[in-house]
């Protein structure tokens, strides 16, 4: 299953799609296989973006998340991991948050992670890593909001 964020306008639509896909599978073994499949199909992050600055601290595996701000204020993410299951997790996060505004990113409830069962079925170290990825995405959103406010303030001067 290839996740294409542009197919769904809102984060809620994307989350609903994920719930449909994951909750249709009866066993967690099948859900892990789906995560691995998603990880295999997620694009690789170019090596020049696999930097220490982009590396997520708190993950057992290596995970890199890169973000930039688009012209209409949307945040574009690129991410990768050296472990397929974790790459599947980061692909899901990119799918949910891709090209939303910073405020929309911050408005997404993290309940979807629990609804997908990740809180109960991932190992504690993977759960910690997942939350570190979410924190970094939210940190990017916060930083971009501040940047936009600073730009708006200087343009009004």
* Residue from 59, 69, 75, 83 carrying the catalytic annotation: 59
Q: Within a domain: residue 2?
A: no
- Band of pLDDT at residue 151, cut at 50, 70 and 90: confident
The tally of domains found in the chain comes to 1
pTM of the model: 0.93
Tell me the residue range of the domain where 68 lies: 9-156
How far is the C-alpha of 8 from the C-alpha of 16, rounded, in Å?
A: 10
Output phi, psi for 48, to 5 deg.
-65, -15
pLDDT average, residue stretch 90-97? 97
**Catalytic residue at 106?**
no
Q: Within a domain: residue 131?
A: yes
Asked if pLDDT for residue 157 goes beyond 70, the answer is no
């Amino acid at each position: 299953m290839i996740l294409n964020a542009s197919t769904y306008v809102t984060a809620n639509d994307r989350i609903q799609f994920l719930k449909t896909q994951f909750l249709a599978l009866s066993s967690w073994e099948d859900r892990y296989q789906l995560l691995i499949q998603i990880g295999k199909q997620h694009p690789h992050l170019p090596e020049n973006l696999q930097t220490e600055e982009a590396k997520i601290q708190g993950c057992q595996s290596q995970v890199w998340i890169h973000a930039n701000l688009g012209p209409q204020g949307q945040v574009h993410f690129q991410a990768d991991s050296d472990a397929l299951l974790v790459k599947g997790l980061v692909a899901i996060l990119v799918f949910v948050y891709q090209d939303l505004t910073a405020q929309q990113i911050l408005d997404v409830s993290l309940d979807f992670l629990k609804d997908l069962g990740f809180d109960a079925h991932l190992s504690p170290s993977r759960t910690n890593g997942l939350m570190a990825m979410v924190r970094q995405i939210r940190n990017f959103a916060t930083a971009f909001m501040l940047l936009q406010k600073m730009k708006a303030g200087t343009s009004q001067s």
